[in-house]
Structure 1
Amino acid sequence: MRAPVSARPGADFTRLWTASAVSNVGDGVAMAAGPLLVAAVTDNPAYVAGAVFVQQLSWLLFALISGAFVDRLDRRRLVVIVNLLRAAALAALMLTVATGTVTVAVIYLVLFLLGTGETLADTAMSALLPAVVAPERLPAANARLYASFTIGNQFVAKPLGAWLFVVSAAVPFGLNALTFAAAAALIAGIRSGAPAAPETQRSSVRDAVAAGLRWLWRHRLLRTLGLSMGVGNIAFGAAFAVFVLYCRDRLGLSEVGYGFLLTAFAVGGLAGTTVATRLTRAVGSTWLLRAGLVIEMVTHISLALATSPGVAAAVLIVFSVHAMVWGITVTSVRQRAVPEELRGRVGSVFSLLDLGGAALGALLGGLVAALWGVTAPFWAAAAVMAAVVLSAWRPLREADA
């Protein structure tokens, strides 16, 4: 029997939030040091780019399968085991770096294992949250989780990871291993997170995945949100795949200027976490989601027209506020609407649409830019988002139902 959930975040949420914050710092450190490590081992650009693809590949291959396992296993225990295994993989990588025996193949293997673990742990963490926080507290809880990710992963960890790599190439990966071990210990102390229903455990993985897909397709609001997010990420991925060229050729920025402009994403994202809960209470989820789609469309138009870095930075900050508010709102709506025994599978579909859409968009954006210039992907993205706004407008009224 599921334990009652407190109306206020208590010790279980504090453990979950702290575990998330700690592991986010470790992840960010390793993400900053990873490309530096690959570049130190090989000068081949294809191998350097391939390191990013290897880690994303796990989501494309295993997202739906991982969702099925999250729904049939004790989610708390699953996160603990996966984090300990990720810590072991990173410790092994640290040893190969420290002893000078690291190779591209070793890096790829560890990244693939980390990505595979991420499909399980991230899906389970999202599904576990409603077990430790009352439904009316989910927006505030998600806002705190998103804020800790933005601060720890984006602001603190990236420069720290680069600095630690310069001090000693092995240290960032050892630190990430320690953060995963610490997160495992914190999650182990959570009292909630019971296994799924027996009928879910008895079904095959294939049948379990199919059941999750059928449930999501029949739920009009979540179907609309998932498809809007997937198509929106295709548009976003297409536009921002050539963002570095857009900054150089359209805005006239140097490499340093490009780096500073990227911080607009983090600034806006952090601001979004502070206003998401209040905006939800003030205007409701329906109008927040509708406004977000409009903002996304206007963002692409504004960037296509912009020639000033200042204007582009302002647009990106507004966009990042929207993106964070949208993510918190959608996650909270989904967690409230999906039955406990389906949260892993439905959440994994959203993750697949998120990553798959961005990856597909990146491929399309490069082609469009090569044919028609660096602003063409932004115009195309605006047109796509206009269609999304029109098709999603009416179904989104159910978000406050």
Structure 2
Amino acid sequence: MARLGRSFGFLLSSTALSNLADGVLKVGAPLLAVSLTRSPAQVALVGAAATLPWLLFALPAGAIADRLDRRRIMVLANVARAAVLVAAAALGALGLMNLWIMLGAVLLASVSEVFADIAAQSVLPMTVSPAHITRANGRVVSTQMIGNEFAGAPVAGLLVTLLPAAVFGAPGLLYGAAGLLLLGMRGRFLPRAESTGQRSMAGDIGEALRYLWAHRLLRTMAVSAGMLNLASAAYFGVFVLWVVGEGSRMGMEPSSYGLVMTALAVGAVAGSLVSERVTRLVGEGRALVGLWLISALLYLVPVLLPIGWLLYPTAVVWGATGAAANVLVVSARQRLIPAELLGRVNSAYRLIAMGGMPIGAALGGVLGEFAGLPAVFLGAAAVCLAAVGLIWRVALDRISSPLTSDTTIPDISRSR
């Protein structure tokens, strides 16, 4: 940690608290919704409220992250969602909580999350040297997994049982503390010195979209990631039906399926921590292609070998390859995109990469209904392999520093 610097230490500590809050809210809000209504459609609105802001606010959040001090954006976003959730907790303690108040709180907190997350990815390269970006992102991803998967879920279950209002109050306090920790970061974190007042926000967003589309590697990475996420949403949207229950192919108990998810989280933490070593051994481009290829091929294992015990090591490798690849992709973007464009291009990239997830989930459900679950799994694997083929042609060898021309294909470099 000493080599990564004091500012990164505060950033990582803030990340730990905010992601613990994310984990509590992600699990606790749907559990509370079930206590208020048994309507599947209404319960599903909680998930929609949590993801809709990414579609609506990702591009404006990126433009703002390239205009203002990125640390200040994160502080204000954390304080805003802390205030919203503490107010919701107070209403819950007074017995005034209902589904619509809950949805409003989740929606407003998620809007703040978009601004906080985009600013956080954009500020990290300003806190560590380029040589340490992959290592720093490995620490961030492992911290996120621990907060979201390991700690958040059991804490949420306990709070729902003992003190339901704390499902909002505890994350609110954690977000507030996360915002205060960011004040320990030294310096200013403005992306560029020149004034942005001469150009509209729409012009800023347009510049980012043009840059992303003209940059062959970034464009291909975004499209490939979008295909992978679409396939993953389709696959895991119906995966539980293949694994759990008497009528399933594998016949596992729900508790055993929970252990599979724990195995996946263990693999993800490990993968995020070893990603830098893998990159040093084989190069960043080869590592990314290899990790995505392994993950795609693993989609075939539960279909071809539906054996309960085999699912645990499969889940570990799933988690490890997915997290390690995520570290490499984020690190590559942070080096490839110029600092003054990082927020906007990051947000445009994530919009493309994540936009297919709700479509994939819907397609997986429809295909599974009419063609059977194996068709979903095999189709998802085929889409993933096609995505690997796309990135193979562009990034197999190396990944480089930022472009000096928006029309040049980058000659990727291994330098950390």
Q: CA deviation at 1:202?
A: 3.1
> What's the CA shift string for 1:184-223, capped at 9, x where partnerless?
1111221241253435443212111111011111111111
Counterpart position of 2:326: 327
Counterparts of 2:89 and 2:262 in 1: how far apart (Å)? 29
Counterparts of 1:140 and 1:9 in 2: how far apart (Å)? 9
1:164 and 2:163 aligned: no
Counterparts of 1:376 and 1:155 in 2: how far apart (Å)? 32
Q: 1:215 aligns with which of 206, 211, 233?
A: 211
1:210 to 1:284, Cα distance in 2 relative to 1, 3 A: same
SS at match of 2:190: coil
1:201 to 1:329, Cα distance in 2 relative to 1, 3 A: farther
> What's the CA shift string for 1:23-81, capped at 9, x where partnerless?
11122112221111111122212111111011101101111121111111111111111
Question: Given that residues 134 and 328 in structure 2 are in contact (C-alpha distance below 8 angstroms), is that contact kept between their aligned partners in structure 1?
Answer: yes
1:100 and 2:86 aligned: no
Counterparts of 2:213 and 2:308 in 1: how far apart (Å)? 42
Counterparts of 1:270 and 1:195 in 2: how far apart (Å)? 31
> What's the CA shift string for 1:149-182, capped at 9, x where partnerless?
1112211121011102211111232111111111
Question: Given that residues 225 and 353 in structure 2 are in contact (C-alpha distance below 8 angstroms), is that contact kept between their aligned partners in structure 1?
Answer: yes
Q: 2:143 aligns with which of 139, 148, 170?
A: 148
Counterparts of 2:349 and 2:299 in 1: how far apart (Å)? 23
Letter of the 1:362 counterpart? A
Counterpart position of 1:268: 267
Question: Given that residues 234 and 365 in structure 2 are in contact (C-alpha distance below 8 angstroms), is that contact kept between their aligned partners in structure 1?
Answer: yes
Range with bigger deviation, 42-51 or 14-23: 42-51
Counterparts of 1:70 and 1:246 in 2: how far apart (Å)? 42
Q: CA deviation at 1:365?
A: 0.6
Q: CA deviation at 1:317?
A: 1.3
1:343 to 1:201, Cα distance in 2 relative to 1, 3 A: farther
Q: Please, which runs of 5 or more residues in structure 2 have no aligned partner?
A: 400-411
SS at match of 1:375: helix
Counterpart position of 1:228: 224
Counterpart position of 1:3: none
Q: Please, which runs of 5 or more residues in structure 1 have no aligned partner?
A: 1-5
Letter of the 2:225 counterpart? M
Range with bigger deviation, 189-198 or 275-284: 189-198
Counterpart position of 1:366: 365
1:112 to 1:294, Cα distance in 2 relative to 1, 3 A: same
Range with bigger deviation, 379-388 or 53-62: 379-388
TM-score by length of 2: 0.92
1:98 to 1:7, Cα distance in 2 relative to 1, 3 A: closer
Counterparts of 2:194 and 2:107 in 1: how far apart (Å)? 31
Question: Given that residues 143 and 274 in structure 1 are in contact (C-alpha distance below 8 angstroms), is that contact kept between their aligned partners in structure 2?
Answer: yes
> What's the CA shift string for 1:61-113, capped at 9, x where partnerless?
11112111111111111111111110000001101111110111111111111
Counterparts of 2:278 and 2:76 in 1: how far apart (Å)? 37
SS at match of 1:166: helix
Range with bigger deviation, 230-239 or 185-194: 185-194
Counterpart position of 1:278: 277
Counterpart position of 1:31: 26
Counterpart position of 2:238: 242
Counterpart position of 1:342: 341
Counterpart position of 2:313: 314
Counterparts of 1:204 and 1:301 in 2: how far apart (Å)? 48
Q: CA deviation at 1:8?
A: 3.0
- Map 1:113-128 to 2 at 5 A: 113-128=108-123
Counterparts of 1:27 and 1:391 in 2: how far apart (Å)? 33
RMSD between aligned alpha carbons? 1.6
TM-score by length of 1: 0.95
Counterpart position of 2:125: 130
Counterpart position of 2:288: 289
Counterpart position of 1:16: 11
SS at match of 1:202: coil
Question: Given that residues 145 and 269 in structure 2 are in contact (C-alpha distance below 8 angstroms), is that contact kept between their aligned partners in structure 1?
Answer: yes
1:322 to 1:343, Cα distance in 2 relative to 1, 3 A: same
Question: Given that residues 132 and 192 in structure 1 are in contact (C-alpha distance below 8 angstroms), is that contact kept between their aligned partners in structure 2?
Answer: no
Letter of the 1:110 counterpart? A
Greater share of residues in helix: 1
Q: CA deviation at 1:243?
A: 1.3
Letter of the 2:390 counterpart? S
Q: CA deviation at 1:389?
A: 2.3
Aligned length: 396
